[in-house]
Structure 1
Amino acid sequence: MSSEIVNYIGYAASVFIVLSFILKDLTKIRIVNLIGCICFVIYGIFSGMLWPVIIPNAIICFVQIYHLVTAKKK
């Protein structure tokens, strides 16, 4: 993947993370944050396996998915 596209994915990730702090609805916050974290994982992979970026964002993805799934069950 070209480095320019990878940079755009990183910028998109940042926008989604910041946007998640602006929202008030918890479900929307989790979904938007999840999208941002997925983008950061992709960014970290295609930027040369940046483990300090990949690992925490992958963990946050699983946390967000867990909370979204358990919230639907309630």
Structure 2
Amino acid sequence: MFWQFILENRGKAFGLAAGFIFGFLFLWVGFFKTIVFAVFVATGFYIGRKFDNEEDVSEVLDRILPGKFTKR
């Protein structure tokens, strides 16, 4: 029953888990460290999504740091 609810409501379950984790981090380490952690998680998710979709990650990295990741 529990797993069936999770599978039928993936977005709600993910949101609940993310809210719990970030709430715990906020209480444990503080506001600004939690914000920095969230930025790192979002960046990792973005780059991971690029890899999953087989997109060119070097274009993104080249926009951030021009000339550092491309061979010319």
Larger Rg: 2
TM-score computed with the length of structure 1 as normaliser: 0.36
> TM-score by structure 2 length?
0.37
Whose relative contact order is higher, 1 or 2, with alpha carbons under 8 Å and at least 6 apart? 1
